[in-house]
A and B are shown apart, each in its own frame.
Chain A
Amino acid sequence: DIQMTQSPSLLSASVGDRVTINCKASQNINKYLNWYQQKLGEAPKLLIYNTNNLQTGIPSRFSGSGSGTDYTLTISSLQPEDFGTYFCFQHNSWPNTFGAGTKLELK
């Protein structure tokens, strides 16, 4: 199975900050990398698919980049509604696998 290693596991930031979350795959996943946001008690929501494509309705302050094994989610200016947990996910190979998550909290 492809292992997805996310960092950091916990991120404290303030409204207006620029934040980045990293995800490293144990092998090349050919840009088949998604990012999801999950708020407490809610289902995950797709933010970005295939590395850098914004899902419909997601604000442009979210962006993604990367290739090969290394990927990044960037939030350009943090908003109050952005706090929650973020997961990366690879769908290049079976079984599809998730990162362990990054909890983004208010500093």
Chain B
Amino acid sequence: EVQLVESGGGLVQPGRSLKLSCAASGFTFSNYGMAWVCQAPTKGLEWVASISTGGGNTYYRDSVKGRFTISRDNAKNTLYLQMDSLRSEDTATYYCARHGQLGFDYWGQGVMVTVSS
């Protein structure tokens, strides 16, 4: 069974940093691209970033370019999102998702990030 479990969320002040993790199991992690998708309170879904199977290719939405870094450790079956220079508009639930040829086919339960002073 595919499982994705996010961690690392919380309350952080504007301008500070936070690092999210996503532990994957139930599939061969290194064979799949991965992504982060966010959902602001009472809002829709937004793709944030994606990473290729080996980590050599990364993609970001414009609003997070230069502030967020997606990475992965295939030996640990773990996906990361380093979030720097956080803004109030980054407040959202962040989902880790498997990003394959079908789009996002499996999702984690999400982790809440609140950016507030």
Contacts and interface: CB of A to CB of B under 8 A. Distances in A.
Interface of A: 32, 34, 36, 42-46, 49-50, 53, 55, 87, 89, 91, 94-101
Decide if the interface of chain A is mainly helix, strand, loop or mixed: loop
Contacts of B106: 46
Interface of B: 44-47, 59, 61-62, 95, 102-110
Contacts of A50: 102
Given A46-B103, A96-B103, A87 B109 contact: no
Decide if the interface of chain B is mainly helix, strand, loop or mixed: strand
A44 B4 CA distance: 13
A34 B102 contact: yes
B44 A94 contact: no
B45 A94 contact: no
Contacts of A46: 102-106
B44 A101 contact: yes
B59 to A, nearest CB: 6
B107 to A, nearest CB: 4
A33 B45 CA distance: 15
Contacts of B105: 46, 49, 55
B60 to A, nearest CB: 9
Contact of B109 (A36, A42, A89): A42
Given A32-B103, A34-B103, A100-B44, A43 B109 contact: yes
A32 B101 CA distance: 10
